[in-house]
């Protein structure tokens, strides 16, 4: 606005007092802009802008004002989300929007389907209660690399994943085995529900037998309904956006390494509003601390 007032004066000889009055701003404000503001408040805002740019760049332009605010507060800043949003607008920083994910499910040919035990009641506050599984593709110059993931809804943590050349039951099985190992073995995941779509990798006899052997109860949404598996769909939308649209992979080996590192970063660093702006790992540590009798006694 101050620039507009100055331009009116220089180009059309409109007195600044007239322009200020017409726009409803004070002349003192205009003079402060023209001569520079040396106040502590102005200096603080400029330092805050630098910090905002740094965090925005660190997250590759994917964080909006809520997550940037959480980063700043952890860094020691006392700042509101509204202020961060205002400064991001001034800086022209806007989080990139994800596009709707392309459906890659291949329905199984057989008649067997697991019942829907979730029925869109996705939430849970218990670890190893509701797991969600799905697959996606990561394109490279050498062809597609397939990723299957297992997400624990209580903490949004990716507890298991597998990368391979083929989208099949073996890939899904490897992701499930990794999830069980991460959680401490079969005894630690008693009663877990594994909810997926009706893709052929999950209806295959080998995957069904593995679930029975490992004590995992299968659940499936309706065919063609992304909303029935919205939790893991949202996760893979994030993967596809940040690994497919923001990065380019020349080789499958390069994509493998980056995908594994990205998932590790997600588990340790990704902030979730549903977790109080904590990462999945931080949230699980909080749960363990809250349930520790020694910590409660202290």
136, β-bridge pairs: 147
The whole model's pTM is what?
A: 0.68
CA 117 to chain centre: 25
Residues 159-212 have pLDDT tens digits of: 999 999 999 999 999 999 999 999 999 999 999 999 999 999 999 999 999 999
The yes-or-no verdict on residue 95 having pLDDT over 90 is no
**Rounded Cα gap, residues 30 and 3, in angstroms:** 9
| Between residues 69 and 192, the one the model is more confident about | 192
How many residues are recorded in the chain? 298
CA dihedral for 271, 276, 278, 279, sign (positive or negative) = negative
Q: Which residue stretches of 61-199 are H helix? A: 65-74, 81-91, 169-182
Question: Which position has the token pair 């939430």?
Answer: 123
| Between residues 257 and 232, the one the model is more confident about | 257
**Rounded Cα gap, residues 176 and 193, in angstroms:** 12
> Computed over its alpha carbons, how large is the radius of gyration of the chain?
25
The lowest-confidence range among 17-21, 50-54, 194-198 is 17-21
| Contact by Cβ (8 Å): 272, 278 | yes
- The two tokens of residue 44 are 């603080």
For 128-154, letters b (16+ CB in 10 Å) and e give: bebbbbbbbbbebeeebbbbbbbbbbb
- The two tokens of residue 184 are 């401490």
**Rounded Cα gap, residues 118 and 226, in angstroms:** 14
Residues 135-148 have pLDDT tens digits of: 999 999 999 999 99
With CA atoms as reference, report the closest residue to 221 among 192, 237, 199. Answer: 199
Supply the pLDDT for residue 296. Answer: 42
| Between residues 145 and 63, the one the model is more confident about | 145
**Rounded Cα gap, residues 81 and 77, in angstroms:** 11
């Amino acid at each position: 606005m101050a620039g507009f007032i100055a331009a009116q004066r220089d180009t059309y000889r409109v007195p600044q007092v007239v322009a200020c009055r017409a726009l409803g701003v004070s002349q003192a404000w205009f003079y402060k802009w023209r001569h520079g503001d040396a106040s502590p408040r102005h200096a603080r805002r400029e330092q805050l802008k630098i910090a905002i740019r740094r965090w925005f760049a660190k997250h590759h332009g994917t964080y909006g004002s809520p997550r940037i605010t959480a980063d700043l507060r952890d860094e020691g800043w006392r700042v509101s989300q509204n202020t961060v949003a205002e400064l991001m607008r001034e800086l022209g920083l806007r989080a990139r929007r994800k596009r709707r994910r392309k459906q890659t499910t291949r329905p199984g040919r057989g008649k067997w389907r697991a019942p829907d035990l979730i029925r869109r009641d996705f939430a849970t506050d218990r670890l190893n209660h509701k797991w969600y599984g799905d697959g996606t593709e990561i394109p490279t110059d050498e062809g597609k690399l397939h990723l299957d993931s297992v997400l624990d809804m209580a903490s949004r943590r990716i507890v298991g994943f597998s990368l391979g050349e083929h989208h099949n039951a073996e890939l899904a099985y490897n992701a499930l085995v990794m999830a069980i190992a991460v959680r401490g073995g079969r005894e630690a995941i008693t009663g877990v529900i594994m909810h997926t779509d009706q893709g052929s990798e999950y209806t295959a006899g080998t995957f069904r037998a593995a679930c029975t052997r490992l004590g995992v109860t299968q659940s499936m949404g309706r065919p063609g309904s992304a909303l029935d598996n919205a939790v893991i769909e949202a996760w893979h939308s994030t993967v596809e956006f940040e690994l497919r649209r923001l990065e380019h992979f020349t080789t499958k080996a390069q994509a493998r390494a980056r995908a594994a590192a990205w998932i590790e970063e997600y588990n340790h660093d990704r902030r979730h509003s549903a977790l109080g702006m904590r990462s999945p790992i931080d949230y699980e540590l909080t749960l363990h601390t809250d349930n520790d009798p020694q910590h409660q006694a202290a």
